[in-house]
Amino acid sequence: MSIPLKFKRVLLKLSGEALVGKQEFGIDADTLATYARQIKELWEMGVELAIVVGGGNIFRGVQGEGIGMGRAHGDYMGMLATVINGMALQDALEQFGVHVRLQSAIPMDKICEPYIRRKAIRHLQKGRVVIFAAGTGNPFFTTDTAASLRAIEIEADVVLKGTRVDGVYTADPEKDQNAVKFDSISFADVLSNRLNVMDMTAFTICQENKLPIIVFNINNPENLRRILLGEPVGTLVS
């Protein structure tokens, strides 16, 4: 008996920093395995799942600027970091028996497929998890923007943005104990209140295409499953 799902096709956005775990940088094996188990559970539920992972645990473009490096050069290095993370996540998922394809916006045919929209959709239809790496393939764009763009291209039902906090607040809850959480909020209210959900380019892509965003705490292992079952988790931006 199949489980009724709130969303059939989703795009999960993971930050590179989420993979650090208790380390200062790099990839924590236990954290990676925890995320892989959560993703496997969604895959077993029949969700068509695509993932965009950042690279901030290894390198960020703005780091390069801090040492005098050109922004474009630094951003390309950051894109390569997302490929490393994508490969690590692919391997972790495959160890759990999940069928995975890694696609890169920058061609690297020795280690992953090039990003081809129709091929990505076909993988999803065949029950494979698709990991999108190397951002958009262009400097000056974040992996949030890549997540929004890929979600529109594959006709996802929602963008799930996993963070360290459990939703969108009136202020940073890690700094302001009086911050109030929104259960749901409109795109217009996010803008008028200058709330930080995604970078402006990424946010505008979702707004213009009426693609909802759910911001939630990725470190609660039950949250992904609960979202797909339609339970109120995190903050819905729509």
Task: Provide the CATH number for the domain formed by 9-237 in this structure.
Answer: 3.40.1160.10
- Encode burial over 15-34: b for 16+ CB neighbours within 10 A, e otherwise: bbebbbbeeeeebbeebbeb
Question: Is the whole model's pTM more than 0.85, yes or no?
Answer: yes
Q: Which pLDDT belongs to residue 173?
A: 87
Q: Which pLDDT belongs to residue 61?
A: 63
Q: Which pLDDT belongs to residue 68?
A: 82
Q: Which pLDDT belongs to residue 69?
A: 87
Beta carbons within 10 angstroms of residue 75's beta carbon: 22
Task: Give per-residue pLDDT as tens, 75-117.
Answer: 999 999 999 999 999 999 999 999 999 999 999 999 999 999 9
Q: Which two tokens stand for residue 213?
A: 């965003």
Q: Which two tokens stand for residue 15?
A: 């930050």
Q: Which pLDDT belongs to residue 174?
A: 83
Q: Which two tokens stand for residue 16?
A: 């590179």
Q: Which sequence spans correspond to the domains of the chain? A: 9-237
| DSSP string for residues in 183-199 | SEE-HHHHHHTT--SS-
Q: Which pLDDT belongs to residue 2?
A: 61
- Whole-angstrom Cα Rg for the chain: 17
Indicate the Cα dihedral angle 114, 34, 223, 90, nearest 10°.
Answer: 10
Q: Which pLDDT belongs to residue 155?
A: 98
Q: Compute mean pLDDT per 10 residues along the chain, 238 residues long, and list them.
A: 84 92 88 96 96 91 74 93 97 98 97 98 98 97 97 98 92 89 96 92 96 95 95 96
Residue 76, SS3 per DSSP: helix
Decide the pairing of beta strands 168-169 and 181-182. Answer: antiparallel
